[in-house]
Amino acid sequence: MGTLYAELDERLRKFIARQPVFFVATAPCLTDDGDGGHVNVSPKGYADTFAVLGPRTVAYLDLTGSGAETIAHLRQNGQITIMFCSFSHETKVLRLYGRGDVVLPGSARWDDLAGQFPRTADPAAELTNQRAIIVIDLERIADSCGYSVPEMSLASERDVLDRWAEKKTAAELVAYRADKNAVSIDGLPALEMARST
């Protein structure tokens, strides 16, 4: 049976740390009734890209990708759900519901938040594929059984995104984002004129 939690306790933090992948879900509200648009679900990987900042606050490092639905939806309505799903012998699905904020490189909050992620901790490293940090204030923390989720083994992390980004200059990544990440598939502003927070 599922359980509601008041906060991310030590046991839940350890569960989160063991998961090699998590899923992010957002949806736009295109009408006054909250209807319309495309619901988006994105898988996220890479070790050390998710951080628990406090009992009811989490963040993840958002890397350059082919779309920017999550950023567009958060800018519009702020609603987000994160799902961790155990593929090991342990049976558990953990969902974190909340309100998300997009923090962009160069903003006042970036340096403090970036220190939470080993991928950005080395100031000498030229890491240019981090396009944002998504910070979520949690409103609901709940788990469920996950009894029907298959048990699978992790072969390895893919380094394809890192290798793709390493072949690009910082200017080329900026141009890519301007072309591919400016608006959502529903035409909502994503990185186009995004405000730093």
DSSP symbol at 126: -
Give the residue ranges of the chain where pLDDT is below 50.
124, 126, 195-197
Count of residues for the chain? 197
pLDDT (tens digit per residue) in 146-169 = 989 999 998 998 989 888 988 998
In angstroms, rounded to a whole number, what is the distance separating the alpha carbons of residues 37 and 133?
24
Torsion angle in degrees (nearest 10) through CA of 113, 117, 122, 123: -20
Res 194: pLDDT: 52
Res 26: pLDDT: 97
Res 170: pLDDT: 86
Please give the domain boundaries of the chain with CATH numbers for all domains. Answer: 3-180 (2.30.110.10)
DSSP 61-100: EEEP-S--HHHHHHHHT-EEEEEEE--SSS--EEEEEEEE
Res 122: pLDDT: 55
Res 192: pLDDT: 74
pLDDT (tens digit per residue) in 83-92 = 999 999 899 9
DSSP symbol at 194: P
